[in-house]
Amino acid sequence: MSPGKIERTLAIIKPDSVAKGVAGQIITRIEQGGLRILAARLVHMSPEDAAGFYIVHTDKPFYRSLCAFMTQGPCLPMVLEGENAIQRWRDLMGATDFRKAAPGTIRAEFASSIEANAVHGADSPESAAFEIGYFFSALDIHSR
Ligand code: CMP
């Protein structure tokens, strides 16, 4: 089989995980899962920051609550790179609803509700490009 495409994706260790002190365990899973971390920083989003990041969810019933949750403390956005990084990171995360997440996935282990679901990942190359640019400039991203 030919090797997969090298992609970049945007991951966030959400405020619930940072507050619980499991960011390190999640980073270990990223590195052991074959993804390289090219950029990372702690960000405490304002309501406007969260609203802009989740703009595609504006019409969803959970939008306001999601924005409040994402601003309750610092989160840890990261740029990840690797073969098929977008899908690979989604596989490591598990399903959005932690009750449906496969055993061994990050959400199965660390999420506590559908909202406080431990981590976020871009769902397409287009969202990855938007989301990476939302948190990082080209100078923040360290290719290796
Ligand atoms: P995330 O992958 O960051 O994308 C949107 C977020 O909305 C999702 O993870 C959850 O944290 C949150 N959310 C809250 N309620 C729901 C819901 N009913 N369905 C999907 N996502 C939800």
pTM over 0.95: yes
79: helix, strand or coil: strand
What is the rounded average pLDDT of the residues 64-72?
A: 98
Does the Cβ of 114 fall within 6 Å of ligand 1? Answer: yes
What residues contact 132, with CB distance under 8 A and at least 6 apart? 8, 9, 10, 79, 122, 141
Share of the chain above pLDDT 90, in %: 97
Tell me the best of 55, 96, 99, 119 to mutate to test the pocket of ligand 1, counting ligand atoms within 8 Å of each CB and taking the most: 96
Tokens of 131: 């989301």
Q: Which domains does the chain have, with CATH numbers?
A: 6-140 (3.30.70.141)
pLDDT at 32: 98
| CA-based nearest residue to 130, from 77, 66, 71, 82 | 77
